[in-house]
């Protein structure tokens, strides 16, 4: 039968593939058997989720008020023989000749010979003592010739103590989980984020819907918990070097990385889904974008460039925009104005905070303005403090508030600008601390004043004017 070239080629390929498989199958079997034997010998080395590259992290455990880096236990080290002898030093040891045994005094014939040999015996004794002294002095410098080499043998008890310092079984108490989750999610920062989102919803020119308001706040809070948890997961090695962050749950080993990432996913997936389905897709997109910017842009940029501060300011400016879009379903100039308030406010707030934490940030390897560009840090804080005055004046122009708002907000904006100017001129810890504490109450006050001066909606104006403008009719 005649075979075509294609059939011949396929036959050759089949034979080559079969040969390759026949060669590789014994190797695979041998590898599998070795892995099984390894795991049977040491059950602690079973493959876990933490061995994956994405979750492969080193932890720091706090023991006896000291931080110890946790590492994977290695195999028992090969015993190293330490020989203290130095062959480069020439040893000169005087050889002592052997002394014949002395007969007992009962033999009177040898008394004469013993008395004659007494001087020679004294000489040999002296030579022996000199040789001993020489040997002792040489052993102090080049080591004893007859001494066995020093071998460091680790006892089983010492080995267990060493491994206990490296690895400790994680004992998680369910009663501690709420506090651990709260610190993992940075609950105070999350509360501030939810407050700004609520302010954005309240400032939107639409009727208030309690269900949508609750959904927007809950979804924004869950997204913030996700971003903060993943941020702490990535920064464990660096947080352990900073006094401000060394007591975080992942640094102390109070929770495993798998648990932390699972908690982040359990918050992020329902949060984004809730914003997308219960509010609108635009709000869900902004929530997912905020998680991405915080975890994938801001977090790695902290160790690369000072632009991380500007990226972080964008992250902080999105929550009020999310509140506005959850209410209206679109991006209006008012939403961008509220985002601008948060964007500018964060520079005097964070620059003043980072100024007194420069040593900590330097130990952690973070490139902050306060560490690498201190002059720019002070200038940017002053510039954006003054920018808050301009943004407050822009609010009535965009029909977000009445003209009362720029007037009543001017005192607090001038005060934070004055503190930012003092921080710019002095650049000391006291001025930075005052500016930071002022920023803590300045933002809630500014948003509250904007809410009290919110411009009424057109339908509210029409409803208010209709009863007054309608003609009076007298009953017949």
| Dihedral angle over CA of 416, 351, 357, 191, nearest 10 | 80
At 18, is the secondary structure helix, strand, or coil? helix
Same domain membership, residue 423 and residue 382: yes
Give the mean model confidence (pLDDT) for residues 241-256: 85
pLDDT digits (tens, 9 = 90+) for 292-309: 999 999 988 888 888 999
CB atoms under 10 Å from CB of 449, counted, come to 19
Same domain membership, residue 273 and residue 177: yes
Q: Is residue 282 part of a domain?
A: yes
Same domain membership, residue 402 and residue 322: no
Q: Is residue 61 part of a domain?
A: no
The parent domain of residue 409 ranges over: 332-456
The Cα angle at residue 200 between residues 196 and 204, in degrees rounded to 5:
165
Q: For position 336, which CATH number holds?
A: 1.20.120
| Of 283, 234, 241, the residue nearest 260 (C-alpha) | 234
Query: Which residue did the predictor score with more confidence, 66 or 297?
Result: 297
Distance CA 433, CA 429 (A): 6
Looking at residue 157, what is its pLDDT?
Answer: 76
Query: Which residue did the predictor score with more confidence, 147 or 359?
Result: 359
CB 413 within 8 A of CB 387: no
Distance CA 405, CA 410 (A): 8
Distance CA 211, CA 391 (A): 31
Q: Which two tokens stand for residue 365?
A: 């390897």
Q: What are phi and psi of 70, to 5 degrees?
A: -85, 135
Looking at residue 99, what is its pLDDT?
Answer: 57
Same domain membership, residue 299 and residue 444: no
Query: Which residue did the predictor score with more confidence, 104 or 171?
Result: 171
Looking at residue 284, what is its pLDDT?
Answer: 93
Looking at residue 69, what is its pLDDT?
Answer: 42
Same domain membership, residue 326 and residue 361: no
Looking at residue 443, what is its pLDDT?
Answer: 93
Q: 151 - beta bridge partners?
A: 81
| Dihedral angle over CA of 287, 292, 294, 298, nearest 10 | -150
Same domain membership, residue 339 and residue 312: no
Give the mean model confidence (pLDDT) for residues 279-293: 93
At 420, is the secondary structure helix, strand, or coil? helix
Lowest mean pLDDT among 66-70, 177-181, 437-441, 463-467: 66-70
Same domain membership, residue 225 and residue 281: yes
Q: For position 234, which CATH number holds?
A: 1.10.357.140
Give the mean model confidence (pLDDT) for residues 435-445: 93
Distance CA 90, CA 87 (A): 7
Look up tokens 């080290």; give the residue. 77
pTM of structure? 0.63
The dihedral through the CA atoms of 236, 242, 248, 252 has a sign that is: positive
Confidence band, pLDDT 50/70/90 cuts, at residue 279: confident
Helix/strand number for the chain, H first, E second? 20, 4
Same domain membership, residue 178 and residue 311: yes
Same domain membership, residue 324 and residue 181: yes
CB atoms under 10 Å from CB of 468, counted, come to 6
Same domain membership, residue 295 and residue 179: yes
| Domain edge (last residue) among 278, 296, 331 | 331
CA atoms within 13 A on the CB side of 204: 26
Distance CA 469, CA 249 (A): 64
Same domain membership, residue 285 and residue 196: yes
The Cα angle at residue 320 between residues 286 and 454, in degrees rounded to 5:
140
Domain count for the chain: 2
Look up tokens 């918050």; give the residue. 267
């Amino acid at each position: 039968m005649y075979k075509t070239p294609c059939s011949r080629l396929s036959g050759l390929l089949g034979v080559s593939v079969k040969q390759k498989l026949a060669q590789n199958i014994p190797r695979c079997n041998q590898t599998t058997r070795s892995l099984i034997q390894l795991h049977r010998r040491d059950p602690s080395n079973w493959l876990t989720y933490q061995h994956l590259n994405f979750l492969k992290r080193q932890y720091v455990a706090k023991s006896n008020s000291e931080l110890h880096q946790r590492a994977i236990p290695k195999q028992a080290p090969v015993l190293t023989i330490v020989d203290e002898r130095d062959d480069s030093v020439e040893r000169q040891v005087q050889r002592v000749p052997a002394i014949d045994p002395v007969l007992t005094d009962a033999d009177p014939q040898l008394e004469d010979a013993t008395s004659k040999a007494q001087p020679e015996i004294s000489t040999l004794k002296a030579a022996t003592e000199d040789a001993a002294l020489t040997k002792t002095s040489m052993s102090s410098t080049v080591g004893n010739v007859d001494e066995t080499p020093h071998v460091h043998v680790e006892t089983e008890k010492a080995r267990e103590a060493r491994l206990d310092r490296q690895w400790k079984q994680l004992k998680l108490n369910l009663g501690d989980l709420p506090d651990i989750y709260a610190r993992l999610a940075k609950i105070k920062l999350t509360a501030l984020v939810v407050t700004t989102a609520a302010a954005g919803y309240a400032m939107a020119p639409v009727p208030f819907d309690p269900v949508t308001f609750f959904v927007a706040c809950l979804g924004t809070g869950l997204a913030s918990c996700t971003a903060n948890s993943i941020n702490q997961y990535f920064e464990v090695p660096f947080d352990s070097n900073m006094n401000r962050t060394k007591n975080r749950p992942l640094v102390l080993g109070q929770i495993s990385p798998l648990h932390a990432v699972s908690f982040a996913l359990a918050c992020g997936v329902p949060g984004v889904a809730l914003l997308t389905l219960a509010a609108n897709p635009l709000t869900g997109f902004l929530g997912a974008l905020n998680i991405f910017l915080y975890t994938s842009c801001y977090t790695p940029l902290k160790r690369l460039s000072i632009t991380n501060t500007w990226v972080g300011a964008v992250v902080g400016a999105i929550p009020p925009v999310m509140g506005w879009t959850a209410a209206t379903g679109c991006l209006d100039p008012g939403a961008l104005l509220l985002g601008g308030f948060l964007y500018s406010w964060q520079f005097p707030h964070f620059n003043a905070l980072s100024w007194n934490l420069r040593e900590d940030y330097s130990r952690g390897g973070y490139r902050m303005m306060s560490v690498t560009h201190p002059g720019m840090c002070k200038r940017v804080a002053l510039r954006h403090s003054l920018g808050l005055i301009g943004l407050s004046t822009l609010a009535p122009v965009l029909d977000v508030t009445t003209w009362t708002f720029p007037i009543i907000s001017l005192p607090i904006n001038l005060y934070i600008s004055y503190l930012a100017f003092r921080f710019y001129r002095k650049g000391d810890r006291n001025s930075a601390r005052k500016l930071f504490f002022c920023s803590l109450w300045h933002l809630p006050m500014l948003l509250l004043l904007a809410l009290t001066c919110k411009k009424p909606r057109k339908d509210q104006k029409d409803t208010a004017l209709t009863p007054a403008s309608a003609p009076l009719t007298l009953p017949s």
